[in-house]
Chain A
Amino acid sequence: NAGVTQTPKFQVLKTGQSMTLQCAQDMNHEYMSWYRQDPGMGLRLIHYSVGAGITDQGEVPNGYNVSRSTTEDFPLRLLSAAPSQTSVYFCASGGGWDTEAFFGQGTRLTVV
């Protein structure tokens, strides 16, 4: 009973490098989303998806890309990492309308 699985758990990148944060869910939720958590800022929505092939921007989308080719997977891509993207990233499954959002364990990303 995995729920929401995020990989990797930790990552260090150099400025300008690219990478993909993986997120997979096994609850058959149509709705998935990505948040970043910074000290004293709470969680802020980056991108979300309401189903395969459909994505949209959240509150802080700049510097990030997403795609949704399957119901299960919702990867987050950093095209050219910047120190300002140092953060903890959480993927959530569910949460559209009145349903509960289930969160992964997070990916702690450091950009140097």
Chain B
Amino acid sequence: AQSVTQPDIHITVSEGASLELRCNYSYGATPYLFWYVQSPGQGLQLLLKYFSGDTLVQGIKGFEAEFKRSQSSFNLRKPSVHWSDAAEYFCAVARYSGGGADGLTFGKGTHLIIQP
């Protein structure tokens, strides 16, 4: 079965500093990987996704992520964070059964705190 691990429950970063959120996945074949962001009291918004091809993917709001098959990782990065980036971040991998896609498996999330 697929699984996603986000090792950091909380991360605190100063405004203007760089950010890296870690994500490790377990999946036998080539995974479809996603990063979502959730602001307080809101639904989830897709930041970026990886399906195939270039292992460095660009997303919205200045985020990028790099797929590393050898490390089973899909870490999210941003060169300079803004106070508005404070939120919960979820990494997810697509689930597949014999009949096709059947949803997403999410990590437990990383809560990002931005210090002024």
Contacts of A75 in B (CB 8 A): none
Contacts A90-B43, A101-B46, A103-B44 given; does A45 touch B51 at CB 8 Å = no
Nearest CB in chain B: distance from A28 CB, A: 17
Q: How many A-B pairs fall under 8 Å by CB?
A: 67
**Number of A residues, CB within 8 Å of B:** 28
B interface vs A, CB < 8 Å?
4, 9, 32, 34, 36, 42-46, 49, 51, 90, 92, 94-95, 99-109
The chain A residues found within 8 Å of chain B, CB to CB, are: 4, 31, 33, 35, 40-45, 48, 50, 56, 58-59, 90, 92, 95-98, 100-106
Please provide the 10 A-B residue pairs with the shortest distance between their CB atoms, ordered closest to farther: A42-B106, A103-B43, A45-B103, A103-B44, A42-B108, A96-B101, A43-B106, A97-B101, A105-B43, A98-B51
